[in-house]
Structure 1
């Protein structure tokens, strides 16, 4: 599967080991370092987070290509997972709307994501811990989902925490992949964040965060493997 990484400080992190353990073949694409963004999705796609907004084409000139790739992946039911910025890019690519510097303010720390009834039969999130402990560090937010998208999970602060577009494209506003060192780096960059408090929260809940994140990664790898085994050659 292809993984689109937007900046060095927002890597695949713990997902790398978890996906490898699940026998996934992972190729990281770093457009900020000159890698071209594929025009056609591989057997699976993960789009990671980043400091830029989903509309910041001037800051990150590869974003139009990423949005185009996400639109194709969603339309073709290629297993796709957008994380934080990746979820916002999926939203915009498929016709929804993202609010930059959303009115409720920055959501940081470990957020309890509550699954909705629509998640009960979802191939990816059904049966995951409820609430799901989702490390979070975002100020932009999904304001409206694409037409036909299914809302799967919400938090107290932001309603659009997890959703599915079409049959196999998921977006999550939280960071199931993140480790404490990476998270601490993000917290330190934002003057509106109490770094000690939010990092301490992650450390205290890390066992449940890691268990939940690993389960999500393993499930996604299995979905990719099943889709690849049944795919018709292009």
Structure 2
């Protein structure tokens, strides 16, 4: 039997799957990254793939003028939901998942988050396939100004932060969206625009230092969550 295949839509040059891709490969999955930002066509269907991952980027989910591939990416997200194929949406990807399912996303929501941030799991996460039995509070790197302001009907709300309530949610049994970046390691922070961070009230060096201090727990936790997502993909592919 061939390895299950995961389609990964990359929306910006620097926004690749990073360690998430390595973790998925470690679990026996084939990871096909589509660099949509450079004009590479996003597939029209998921027929050749067993799961979908949509990464982050500095766009709204329907920002088709600046990112014309998002229309097809939204179509793939709808297909994943309708077909029960596992999906993971990260930052923009999570916002896109929320929007296609009937939720609301707001540009420049006014409460930006950058750097290592304490994610608080809700009671609903206790029996979730990905988030069960995790620490109640776990760090993850954030980098956003846009935010989900209303979850889709039927979504299970899994996690929150002080500034941004909708940090993680699930739709059905196989689709998850997160606002944070489980794929990002601390050194990525040093590549961000320091002036823009200052405008939002953040110091780049302090953000990096905190992320380094938090990464042992963060990497261990999100590695386990990725393993569980891969398990869902493998089970779905066998089914």
TM-score range, shorter chain: over 0.9
Displacement over 4 Å in runs of 4+: none
In structure 2, relative to structure 1, the CA distance for the partners of 1:29 and 1:130 (3 Å cut) is: same
Offset from partner CA, 1:187-223 (integer Å, 9 cap, x none) = 5372423211211111111111111121111111111
1:14 aligns with 2:19: yes
* TM-score normalised by structure 1 residue count: 0.93
Q: Any gaps of 5 or more consecutive residues in structure 1?
A: none
Q: Distance in 1 between matches of 2:94 and 2:142?
A: 13
Please say which of residues 58-67 and 191-200 is displaced more in the overlay.
Answer: 191-200
Q: Distance in 1 between matches of 2:187 and 2:125?
A: 31
Q: Which residue of 2 aligns with 1:229?
A: 238
| 2:168–2:177 CA contact under 8 A, matched in 1 | yes
The one of 167, 172, 181 equivalent to 1:166 is 172
C-alpha RMSD of matched pairs (Å): 1.4
Matches within 5 A, 1:124-143: 124-143=130-149
Q: Which residue of 2 aligns with 1:219?
A: 228
Matches within 5 A, 1:82-121: 82-103=89-110, 105-121=111-127
Q: Distance in 2 between matches of 1:31 and 1:174?
A: 21
In structure 2, relative to structure 1, the CA distance for the partners of 1:154 and 1:40 (3 Å cut) is: same
* TM-score normalised by structure 2 residue count: 0.91
> Which secondary structure state, in structure 2, belongs to the residue aligned with residue 56 of structure 1?
coil
Q: Which residue of 2 aligns with 1:32?
A: 37
| 1:111–1:134 CA contact under 8 A, matched in 2 | yes
Q: Which residue of 2 aligns with 1:145?
A: 151
Question: Offset of 1:109 from its aligned partner?
Answer: 1.7
Q: Distance in 2 between matches of 1:37 and 1:116?
A: 35
Q: Any gaps of 5 or more consecutive residues in structure 2?
A: 1-5
